[in-house]
Amino acid sequence: MLGLSSRPSSRRVTVVSALVATLALVACTPASASNVRVRHSLFGMHDGTATSSSLGQIHEGAVRLWDVGVQWRDVETHVNGHRYDWTRLDQLVSAAQAAHAEVTMVVAGTPRFYSANPWNVPAQQIPAYKAFVKALMKRYRSFHGARGIAAYQVWNEANIKTFWTGTVGRMAQLTRAMDQVRDRVDRRAKVIGPAMVTRLPFELDGLGAFYHQRVGGAPVWRFVDAVGLSLYPKDTYGRRAGVPEDSMKLLRQSRAKLRHDGVPGSKAIWNTEINYGLGAGSATPISRARQASNVMRTYLLNAANRVKRVFWYRYDWGRLGDGGTLGNTLITSPDDSSTVTAAGRAYHRVQLWMHGTILGTRTSPPCAKDRHGTYGCVVKDGTGKRYIYWNPFHGAKVRLPKGVHRLQGVLGGNSTVKPRQLLQVNYKPVMVRR
């Protein structure tokens, strides 16, 4: 594979972007059906540290429990009497509760006494799966006087052999099984469809094959509250690195597959894993600014495209044996998860930038892209409006709206601007406000 470049392209094209849709929002427009209210639970994270330290460092609003020692086989330790070890899961749920973060539990990894292969559930063991889901929901529907786990995901990445070797029909049966338990035990809990990888054509075919299934005469999508997607883009596209805008192309392709198989467009989508640079072996490093930009653009674009949760993978990625890392955008230092990187600070900063509602109009969606590829987002809350601009592949200029005076960059630097001036932008998002 071609390596990633940590330098901006030398082929710079400077264009003057009108951003008509953005400027039209300077006036007080009426509320639009295209507006997106940004909720704190959008900002999800995977964190395997002993104390879930991300909750105090970057203040995410949701956590997804995967690769943290609480798979089905980690919790159900004996077959007789369904004996469970709740120690680790209790610790993680308690930490999230204390930080007011929503918990999603992935129910996958079959105990050895039910299957020799943890990535399969034999048909005769579906009742055992249901029994474990029932035990989970009974314990965490009210935990220490408050909701413990808010959502349960049926499986992890069920369209690749790494995590699922059973049939697509069996996965559909597990999905209905979880929905049945939810209806009896914890009707307020959400059921999230099994995560599906989307970066390659055969994986998109697997997504379509699953949502084409019917169980008990009903389409499988009826048993889930949200579709789960892993929206990792490829590590490179030609001579450039994969970026958040590539991930959004995968989202569009996934929605087309779902629509083809009859899934309503109103069905929620959760981005249950995301990072960049994943390929064969360790990722090619990229600059601090590119890492921070990846984080910010990820959350802005997912929110604008109505994705309800985005779980970053992950807070505490350490180094591989060769000294590299699997992803190129790291929230903490690979050598010390207590040291937050520029990307980690950007993760918190973008929460502040996005606080409130991302505005659209009747004719233009939130975070619209102009004909030169320059994005413009307008976010409004009780303090006023914030305008966020970037162009992922070229240099460009934008005309700032009236009344703005302050600019903040992706790395946190602050400066002053003049209303109506032409501002040079590039792949690094900038935010301007009064």
pLDDT tens figures, 235-250? 999 999 999 999 999 9
The pLDDT confidence band at residue 15, using thresholds 50, 70 and 90, is very low
pLDDT at 334 over 90: yes
CB 368 within 8 A of CB 22: yes
**Mean pLDDT to the nearest integer, 271-283:** 96
CB 422 within 8 A of CB 404: no
CA distances from 89 to 103, 130, 131 (A): 11, 18, 17
| pLDDT at res. 79 | 85
pLDDT at 63 over 60: yes
Beta bridge partners of 368: 376
| pLDDT at res. 50 | 87
Residues carrying CATH 3.20.20.80, the chain? 39-355
100-113 pLDDT per residue, tens: 999 999 999 999 99
Q: Angle at Cα 320 formed by Cα 318 and Cα 323, nearest 5°?
A: 100
**Mean pLDDT to the nearest integer, 200-217:** 97
CB 88 within 8 A of CB 127: no
- How large a percentage of the chain has pLDDT more than 70? 92
- How large a percentage of the chain has pLDDT more than 90? 89
The pLDDT confidence band at residue 24, using thresholds 50, 70 and 90, is very low
Alpha carbon distance 178, 129 (integer Å): 8
The pLDDT confidence band at residue 80, using thresholds 50, 70 and 90, is confident
| pLDDT at res. 21 | 35
Grouping H, G, I as helix, E, B as strand and the rest as coil, residue 416 is: strand
Residues carrying CATH 2.60.40, the chain? 1-35+359-434
CATH code, residues 39-355: 3.20.20.80
Q: Is the pTM of this model over 0.85?
A: yes
| pLDDT at res. 363 | 87
Mean pLDDT of the chain: 92
Of 88, 97, 89, 86, the C-alpha closest to 55 is 97
Alpha carbon distance 32, 359 (integer Å): 8
Q: Angle at Cα 121 formed by Cα 115 and Cα 123, nearest 5°?
A: 110
397-432 pLDDT per residue, tens: 999 999 999 999 999 999 999 999 999 999 999 999
348, amino acid identity: H
Of 274, 329, 308, the C-alpha closest to 45 is 274
| pLDDT at res. 130 | 98
| pLDDT at res. 86 | 97
| pLDDT at res. 361 | 87
The pLDDT confidence band at residue 166, using thresholds 50, 70 and 90, is very high
The pLDDT confidence band at residue 33, using thresholds 50, 70 and 90, is low
What is the DSSP track for 120-161? ---GGGHHHHHHHHHHHHHHHSSBTTB----EEES-S-TTST
| pLDDT at res. 27 | 33
The pLDDT confidence band at residue 289, using thresholds 50, 70 and 90, is very high
CATH 1.10.10 fits 1-35+359-434, yes or no: no
Crossing angle of helices 288-304 and 342-353, in 10° steps, is 30
The order of strands in the sheet holding 396-399 is 16-17, 396-399, 422-425
| pLDDT at res. 425 | 98
Element (H, E) at 357: strand 356-358
The total of other beta-carbon atoms located within 10 Å of residue 321's CB is 6
